[in-house]
Structure 1
Amino acid sequence: MHRFLLLIVLFVSSNVVAQNDVGHKLVKDKFLDYFELPRESVFLHTNKTMYIVNEEVWLKGYVYNRHLQKPFHQTTTVHVGLFNAKGENFKNYHFKAKDGYFKGNIVVDSMLVSGEYYLRSSTNWMKNFKEDDSHIQKITILNEKPLKKESAVRDYDIQFLPEGGNLIEGTPSTMGVKVTDGNGYGVRIIEGSVFDDDNAQVARFYTSIFGLGKFNFIPKVGKNYIAKLEFSDGNVQTVTLQKPMKKGVAFGVKHIDDDRFIITLTTNETTKEITDNQQFYLLVHKDGHANRIPLAFPKNSLFVSKVLNKEVLNKGMNLLTLFNSDGKPIAERLIFNYADLFDAKLEVSKLALETDSLKIQVKLLDADVVQQNLSVSVLPGNTISHNQKNSIYSTFYLKPYIKGFIENPKYYFEDITTKKQNELDLLLMTQGWSRYDWNDIFRGPPNQFYEFENGIDLEGTLYGQEVSSNDKLLVSYPDNRSRYLDILDNKFLIPKYFPEKGDMLEFTLINNKTLRKPTVGINMVTAELPEKLNQIWNEKVIPKPEDFNENIKMSGLISADNTINLNEVTVVEERMKTTVENNVFIPKYLKGKMTEVTEDIEVNFPLVSDIIRSRGYYVREELSFGSTDRVIIRIRTVQSFESKRAMPVPAIYLNNVRLNTFDLLYRMPTNEVESFLIDKTGAGEGVRGSGGVIRIYTRRLPRGYTDQGSSDNTIFKYEFKEGFEKVKKFYTPKYTSYFSNEFENFGTIHWVPELITNENGIATFKILNTFQSNVTFFIEGMGAKGQLISAERNLIIE
């Protein structure tokens, strides 16, 4: 009988284990499905991070396939948005990428005030995923007005984070500590202590310069714990630690040596019933790569450990997720595997000194990493204009897996020592769970709604003429290619084109060998970019050294020859005025009151409703209950409290015709408007003008029309004011002096966006001889096989 019962128990146990095994295989399958679509990361290397007005932001971009750990060849279009200190979009730029690289420049416009700005790099493909893979690069721009001085932030955020995410009663635990200021930057404390209810000290801890620390302790049943932290300013903060869970499993990881690490699971007596005969699984994963490792507590044991060879780890970041027998994730720990990632070393040397230039050599010292595509920024040795917190290492190896803010991420990949490896492990331990939510993974893989952009679709319109089915539209490109375009309802499409700013397309209508000059408008269909950043951060407040000069003047650093001539601005302004003055449809008495729609207005107010709303009107562009109007516009001043209907409605004229309904303005693009007038006094409208008067005149010709002095009246020439950025050759700004403190602090010596090393790992280039005795080279790079390089080298010029 006992033997029969034993067989039943063994059968049930084996059946449960088999079911659990199937369940965990399904978890792994879910994970692999979620990462089936490849993920890409972008890194933007700028020649420095602090710019003076009328300089150029010289940049090189790298696009990385995280699954294959190689350049992302499918990406051909990268969008870079410029955002102000509030995270508001100021302007967008488009760059053409090839084989995982792109390069270009952005002019630092004189309209930009002094302050902090953000460059956000992204692709259309990234929009398929919930996780934001865009790259944010912070820069500083110096104009005539000085930067606003940051004040010290005294507020503190103190967090206690158990390793793996679980704090269990009566179970040995490692507790992480994270102390930051009001801006999210780490704060070093003098000392921290943990006390129980009886005021007995149970642990002591300290924090690093990044505000991170840890301590070991065993939370006892029924006890409460408080921590006291003493800061360098004399401030003492008291924090109550979170209550431990009565049941659960604590999860820990520790590195033994370069080849091995140990994982541990611990629990308490209360949980023992649950853990006996249960199978746990550890999923070691990253970007679609996964290893599944079974774990189980020995009979009646509260502890299990397993030594693993680091061969089970992926290179770089690893996410270790612990699943219980039901396939539910119960703990997670991030660890980093440095193996075979940072072997690429290089040296920079001077080969020759010429009259006005220096010949420089870059040599890779690792025989296995010889052919690289590098970008090199050359700045004076005493520069303070390069304060880069990211590197290609931290952007591709660290940032994609962390959901929180990382202070100075490139620190962990410069001059790597055992100390820095331990500091990175402490950072990962206090990050908790990764940025990937298992609820999202279980719900299923992301949908592929967005494709890789291969150029930009151009949607064209023929204005002011009837087009028959026999008409053909011929377009000629800048490279002298020509093709016929299909016309449907006066519309045509040029798909997947790479128009550069300033490029010209020529159009001709052909019918039975008769040539006619069309009038063409073009709308570029690009990936929608955000109007506001999800996250912005202030600079860390660091006390200035005693000898720091707050009164450095930047206005005289760059020669006047390098700036825009005032006469050019006047000519542009006069040309803009002639558009209104030559419009015969606008009454003479209104011409001096009209507002010309410029490109800046189009960018800042994409829709006509945006302009009207900015002038204080209530605008609603959707159907609302009880109304048949799609567009509602009212003045915000309430005349009666009985109903919103009492709010005055403006008199709106479109090309001198008064609108009885405003539906014609529904999502009307501003680029279709030539000029407008918004007068809230309603002058000249009598009683009907109580809500003001708005006059709108549409374009007689689309923006971009130019005759270019051509005598051929059969060709319409369209010039692209927007499009891909042209790749310009680097030029050194004309500085007034190479011997001033301003040049040493803020000057630019050279920029090489594409330096290709040969089969021996060597590349040479020339830089301007600015007579600096000390020059610094900031180098980033990526090879065809995905090897990465990030280095800073100083060269003494004798």
Structure 2
Amino acid sequence: MKLIITFFSFLYCLQSFAQTTSNQDKITKYLNDYFFQDREIIHIQFNKSLFTNDEDIAFKGYILSKNNNIPNSNTTNVQLVVYNEEDQIVEKQLLFAQYGVFSGGIHLNEKFKSGKYHFHFYTNWMNNFKEDDSFNQTIEIIDKKTRYTFETKEPDWKTAEISLFPEGGIILNDIVNTIGIKITDCNKTGIEIADGIILDSKSNEITHFHTNQMGYGVFYLKADLSEKYTLKINNDKLKITQPLGKIAETGLILSAPNNPANLNLLVILKTNEKGRQSYQNKKFTVLIQQNGNSMQQEVTFNNNKTEQPFYFDKKYLSNGVNAIRVLDEDLNEITERLTYIEEGGNPSTTLNAKTMSNDSIILSGKADVNKAYLSISVLPEKSVCLNLKKTILGTFYLNAYLEKPEPDTYFYFNPDNKTRRKDIELLLLNQNKGKYLWENIKSGPPKISFEFEKGVTINGKVEKELKPNSNNKISLVALKNNLFEQTTIDQNNDFKFEHFFVQDSTVLALQMTNEKNITVTTKIEARIARNEPRFVLGPSFEKTFCPVIKSADNVFDFQPPKVKASELKEVAIKNTFKKEVFTHKSDMSLMAKAFKFDGKEYRSVLSFLSSNGYNAGVSPTDFTVYVKEKRSSFLGESASSPNIYIDNFLVFDFNQLFNITLDQVDEIYIDQTGSSDTSITGHGTIKIFMKTGQSNNYFKPKFTTLIVTKGFAKNLNYKTAPFENQDEFNYFGTLNWSPNIELNDHQDFQIKIPKNQQKEIQVLIEGFTNDGQLISEVKKVSVGGIF
């Protein structure tokens, strides 16, 4: 009989082992399937958070691959939508990303009234997932014509609310419970208190608690099912009394007392005596996981103990927030707890004021990393615009895994915060759950319905009927961007250019050529075909739910602009100069030189251009006409050509200029800056206007022009705004914005700032390396002693 019992016990053990192995495999498969498709997350650094209404808002974007923890170089299209306080869209931009970074900005105009604006950044690919990895940021714009009243940092004490977060979601009878507490006002601003207490039914003080400046705290309570507990706060600013809540007879609690100094993470699965009896012979799996990276252990209560401790080696866990889950034998989640892993330090930089040239200071920096992308904002010592809340560390390590993103992550990574690791654990204790829900993971991999957008598409149709099996092609040219592409025309006379990277306002020319590469005149219709993808989950703004408290004693009045005027004595002037009237001057910028011709000059246009800033003539090698900037003698074939227009038609074949003489020309405008052109400035613009009645058949264009309107946003040429006095600049000005710093082989960089009567400056540095290390620092640099 004993042998039979042993045999069946052996079979039971085998069955249990098979069950365990099967569950482990299922868990691994769930995670691998759900996180197989790479996800991207975006962080944005703004040059500051408060802007006057005549400034440039500037930003730098960083895109991280969640699966690989490195810059996501696959992303090219990033969508920006800007909303006002009434949730109305005031601006849209398509931003071009390369190597996981992008930069841009907005020139403020009349669309941007005084108030707060919500910037929402996302990609179309993000729409495939149930979790929100987009980026939201709120900035404020103020009108210099009105008095500005600063917001107070004081919370609205009258609207204080208390939320409790016991480990395991329950307060369990007859054990010591760890209970998180969060106190916030109606705008979710944290409230710090130092004198909270827990009372029993006889008003005896059982325990006490306090909260940090973010409103988070913790207290410990050995609960008694027969007792009723009360939470009480009684001080000058806040008086609250509320019941603690129901005590559970039994259940499971997951505790993770994370000690950063230990190499192993201690996790404890706890129950009470009644639970120990109920859970005998039941197996649970404790899973710790971030994305697809995971570790798991099986646990039972068969040793007659109510606490089951075990350890996870931190070196196998991912930096940042990790979710710890308890799963039953059917792989249903019983409870969840978040913890934070931080192994190894982040790269750091050094920054010194090196030398001064005239009124400028050279800031010399060095980082202990290679191949990094950095962005740097430099503000005056007294600036009120550095309301730093979101950092790249907080976005990628914290908010990437929280169900509700924390609006102020800098607090948790500020090196001056000596309790920051404790504060991170308090934050994670006071969460109901993480971003990735176990039920979603179990439900299967995400359905991929939204494409990974790259560039824009140009669709078009030619009017001329083509012969069957025609080899005609469409050529697309953007002269100033050195772009040249060709594509075929299908049987329906349609053509398409896909994955085209082109900025707004770029002038494109399209023409059809036959099999002999000869231009064929035909009408061509073309347009930019791009879906402007909406974000399926919708933007989650940091909205205010009650009026923000303003400080009546903290206001600022801007000085009205100075108007320079002088009184002139009455002077009689006799004008004998005959003013030339330029018909097309409004077509050009102020940088253009204008020339008027009376029909009595017979030089060629090429000769005229040669006398006015360009090398022009006929190439002796291929006998084609060229017009190049004067540097062509040094640059040779690489010298650039200007955009040349005849009667506002862009000339692509310069041979059309060969026979034109000045007696046929009414006006010529030369703008070597290129600012007269609708396309990107670069190599100059020349516009030739023919005399009325002049035959132009020989330069009739054989192409169609298209001005891009749904392409990528134009590059921001960032400029600082003027201020009327030093106080205005000290509070609201910007000393430097450098969004595109790439470290050289010596790991150093330099930026130049104006001295501007500063004794100390504030420098915000953010960025990441090619291998995914994150950099986020705020430095104060003394510059008062630089001479």
Alignment of 1:256-405 (within 5 A): 256=259, 257-342=261-346, 344-364=347-367, 366=368, 369-405=369-405
The 8 Å contact of residues 182 and 216 in structure 2, kept in 1 or not, is answered as: yes
The AA in structure 1 aligned to 2:287 is: L
The offset of 1:554, in angstroms, is 6.7
Distance in 2 between residues matched to 1:461 and 1:246, nearest whole Å: 74
Letter in 2 for 1:179: I
Identify the residue that residue 699 of structure 1 maps to in structure 2: none
Shift of 1:99: 0.9
Is contact 1:63-1:100 (8 Å) kept? yes
Whether contact under 8 Å (2:115, 2:140) holds in the other structure is yes
Report the CA distance shift for 1:109/1:341 in structure 2 as closer, same or farther (over 3 A): farther
Task: Determine the structure 2 residue equivalent to 1:787.
Answer: 773
CA contact (8 A) 1:461 1:522 kept: no
- The equivalent residue for 2:136 is 136
- When normalised by structure 2's length, the TM-score is 0.76
For the pair 1:533 / 2:539, whether they are aligned, the reply is: yes
The separation in 2 between residues aligned to 1:244 and 1:467, in whole angstroms, is: 82
Distance (Å, rounded) in 2 between the aligned partners of 1:206 and 1:756:
45
Matched, 1:755 2:741: yes
* Corresponding letter in the other structure for 2:133: D
Structure 1 residues 178 and 370: alpha-carbon distance in aligned structure 2, compared to 1, 3 A threshold: same
TM-score by length of 1: 0.75
Query: Within 2, Cα distance between the matches of 1:145 and 1:103?
Result: 31
Conservation of the 8 A alpha-carbon contact between 2:196 and 2:234: yes
Report the Cα distance in structure 2 between the residues aligned to 1:790 and 1:720, rounded to whole angstroms: 37
1:772 equivalenced with 2:762 (yes/no): no
Structure 1 position 131, deviation (Å): 0.4
Tell whether the 8 Å contact from 1:75 to 1:454 is kept in structure 2 after alignment.
yes
Offset of residue 157 of structure 1: 2.3
Matching residue of 1:203: 207
Q: 1:541 to 1:744 in 2, by over 3 A?
A: farther
Residues 703-722 of structure 1 correspond to what in structure 2 (within 5 A)? 712-722=700-710
- Once the two structures are superposed, residues 573-606 of structure 1 have per-residue CA deviations (whole angstroms, 9 ceiling, x without a partner) of xxxxxxxxxxxxxxxxxxxxxxxxxxxxxxxxxx
| 1:60 aligned onto 2:90 | no
CA distance in 1, matches of 2:376, 2:776: 10
Paired AA for residue 247 in structure 1 = T
Q: Please give the alpha-carbon distance, in whole angstroms, between the structure 1 residues aligned to 2:78 and 2:560.
A: 34
Superposition map of 1:636-647 within 5 A: none
Q: Is the 8 A contact 2:151 2:551 kept in 1?
A: no
1:429 partnered with 2:429: yes
Asked if residue 524 in structure 1 is aligned to residue 529 in structure 2, the reply is: yes
In 1, Cα distance between the equivalents of 2:121 and 2:522?
40
Give 1:100 deviation, angstroms.
0.9
What is the CA-CA distance between 1:511 and the residue it aligns to? 6.8
* Residues 82 and 92 in structure 2, CA contact (< 8 A), matched pair in contact too: yes
Q: What is the Cα deviation at residue 122 of structure 1?
A: 1.1
Cα separation, 2, equivalents of 1:445 and 1:75 = 21
Q: Does residue 175 of structure 2 align to residue 171 of structure 1?
A: yes
Distance in 2 (alpha carbons) for counterparts of 1:66 and 1:559: 57
Q: Give the deviation of 1:203 after TM superposition.
A: 2.4
Q: Does the Cα contact within 8 Å between 1:82 and 1:120 map onto a contact in 2? A: yes
User: What's the secondary structure of 1:398's corresponding residue?
Assistant: helix
Specify the SS of the correspondent of 2:334: strand
Counterpart of 1:255 in 2: which secondary structure? Answer: coil
Gap change, CA 1:237 and 1:735, over 3 Å in 2: closer
2:504 aligns to what?
Answer: 501
Q: Which amino acid aligns with 2:215?
A: G
CA 1:416/1:382 → structure 2, altered by over 3 Å: closer, same or farther? closer
* Map of 1:650 onto structure 2: none
8 Å CA contact retained: 1:210, 1:407 = no
- What corresponds to 1:160 in structure 2? 164
> Separation in 2 of the partners of 1:558 and 1:123?
47
1:483 matched to 2:486? The reply is yes
The verdict on how the C-alpha distance between 1:745 and 1:557 changes in structure 2, with shifts beyond 3 A counting, is: farther
How do residues 459-608 of structure 1 correspond to structure 2 at under 5 angstroms?
459-460=459-460, 472-478=473-479, 479-487=482-490, 489=492, 491-509=494-512, 515-518=520-523, 520-530=525-535, 533-538=539-544, 548=554, 550-553=555-558, 556=561
Contact 1:126 1:132 in 2 (8 A): yes
* Equivalent pair of 2:378/2:734 in contact (CA under 8 Å): yes
SS at match of 1:67: coil
What is the CA–CA distance in structure 2 between the aligned matches of 1:759 and 1:514, rounded to whole Å? 49
The 3-state SS of whatever aligns with 1:400 is helix
Report the equivalent of 2:654: none
- For structure 2, the 5+ residue unaligned runs are 566-585, 588-677, 680-685, 690-698
Cα deviation digits, residues 286-316 of structure 1 (max 9, x gap): 1211111222324222122224442243222
Alignment-mate amino acid for residue 97 of structure 1: A
SS across alignment from 2:188: coil
Q: Which amino acid letter does the alignment assign opposite residue 475 of structure 2?
A: L
CA-to-aligned-CA distance 1:103-151 (integer Å, 9 cap, x gap): 2222122221111111111112211111010011221111245568769
3-state secondary structure, aligned to 1:31: helix
Q: Which residue of 2 aligns with 1:8?
A: 8
Q: CA deviation at 1:217?
A: 1.0
After superposition, the C-alpha distances for 1:454-499 in whole angstroms (9 at most, x for unaligned) are 2112333568x87776565433233251424425646432211112
SS of equivalent to 2:247? coil
Q: Distance in 2 between matches of 1:6 and 1:390?
A: 62
CA distance in 1 between counterparts of 2:90 and 2:376 reads 28
- Check 1:545–1:258 CA distance in 2 against 1; reply closer, same or farther (3 A cut): farther
Q: The residue matched to 2:214 in structure 1 has which SS?
A: coil
Give the superposed CA RMSD: 3.1
User: What amino acid does structure 2 have at the position aligned with 1:135?
Assistant: F
Report deviation, 1:372: 2.1
Structure 1 residue matching 2:412: 3-state secondary structure: helix
Letter of the 1:403 partner, please give it: E
Distance in 2, matches of 1:285 and 1:482, equals 47
Q: 1:727 to 1:539 in 2, by over 3 A?
A: farther
1:111 is aligned to 111
SS at match of 2:778: strand
Q: Decide whether aligned partners of structure 1 residues 87 and 7 sit closer, same or farther in structure 2, where only a CA change above 3 A counts.
A: farther
Residue type at the aligned position of 1:218: K
Percentage of identical aligned residues: 24
CA distance in 1, matches of 2:533, 2:546: 32
Q: SS of the residue aligned with 2:48? A: coil
In structure 2, the CA distance between the partners of 1:473 and 1:759, relative to structure 1 (3 Å rule), is closer
In the alignment, is residue 732 of structure 1 matched against residue 720 of structure 2?
Answer: yes
Secondary structure of the residue aligned to 1:161 is strand
Which amino acid in structure 1 is aligned with residue 33 of structure 2? D
Residues matched between the structures, number: 647
**Alpha carbons 2:118, 2:541 under 8 Å: kept:** no
Deviation at 1:169, TM superposition (A): 2.4
Mapped to 2, the partners of 1:771 and 1:163 lie a distance apart of 54
Please name the residue that 2:258 is paired with: 255
**Alpha-carbon distance change, 547 to 228 in structure 1, aligned in 2, over 3 angstroms:** closer
The one-letter code of the counterpart of 2:544 is N
Once the two structures are superposed, residues 514-571 of structure 1 have per-residue CA deviations (whole angstroms, 9 ceiling, x without a partner) of 73352524143134124963333239988767862x24227649999xxxxxxxxxx9
**Matches of residues 625-644 of structure 1 in structure 2 within 5 Å?**
none
The alpha carbon displacement at 1:419 in A equals: 1.4
Task: Check whether the contact 1:178–1:213 (CA below 8 A) recurs between aligned residues.
Answer: yes
Q: By how many angstroms is 1:3 displaced?
A: 4.9
Native 8 Å contact 1:196 1:223 kept in 2: yes
- 1 CA distance for matches of 2:341 and 2:315? 10
Q: Determine the C-alpha separation between the residues in 1 that align with 2:362 and 2:66.
A: 36
Shift of 1:86: 3.3
> Any conservation in 1 of the 2:462–2:522 contact (CA below 8 Å)?
no
Counterpart AA for 1:528: P
